[in-house]
């Protein structure tokens, strides 16, 4: 998933798009080398020391990882995927970003 996320962030640079993570690792310190190695530059909420039982994933009823929510510029949830969505992800994001351009 990391390479896809990296390419997505790069492709959408300068456009009204943000990749926001919710990280469910229990230990943030152990994660640091991975952030550097995988060039994870996008910001993530931390789900807390409870890991996958943390408050954010519980509030969102996420029980599988990765789970992705696509939220439009008004804050409305438009799509949800559990597992890697593949190319469909890029298409859906571009569609929503183009909606913003059309509404302006």
Partner 1 sequence: MSKQRILCPECQAPLNIDASLPAGKKIKCPKCQAIFPLGEPISQAVSAEPMAVAVAAEAEDEDDRDADDDRPARRRAGPREKQGIGAGMTITLIAASLLVAGGLAVGTYFLVKSLIPSDAGAGDQAAAGQPAAPQKWQPTGLLAKGMPPQLTPPKDKQNVNPIQPNAGPQIGQVAPEIVAEDLDGQTFKLSDYRGKVVLLDFWGNW
Are 57 and 22 in contact, with CB atoms under 8 Å apart? yes
Question: Counting every residue, how long is the chain?
Answer: 104
Considering only residues 25 through 84, tell me which ones interact with partner 1, judged by CB under 8 A.
25, 28, 31, 34-35, 43-48, 51-53, 55-63, 65-80
6 binds partner 1 (CB under 8 A): no
Query: Which pair of structure tokens corresponds to residue 39?
Result: 């060039």
97 binds partner 1 (CB under 8 A): yes
C-alpha gyration radius of the chain: 14
Which residues in this chain contact partner 1 in the complex, by CB under 8 A?
1, 5, 8, 16-25, 28, 31, 34-35, 43-48, 51-53, 55-63, 65-80, 89, 93, 96-97, 100
């Amino acid at each position: 998933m990391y390479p896809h996320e990296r390419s997505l962030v790069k492709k959408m640079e300068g456009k009204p798009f943000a990749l926001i993570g919710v990280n469910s690792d229990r230990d943030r310190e152990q994660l640091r080398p991975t952030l550097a190695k995988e060039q994870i530059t996008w910001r993530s909420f931390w789900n807390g020391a409870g890991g996958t039982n943390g408050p954010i994933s519980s509030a969102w009823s996420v029980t599988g990882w990765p789970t992705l929510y696509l939220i439009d510029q008004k804050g409305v949830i438009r799509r949800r995927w559990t597992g890697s969505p593949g190319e469909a992800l890029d298409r859906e994001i571009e569609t929503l970003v183009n909606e913003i351009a059309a509404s302006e």
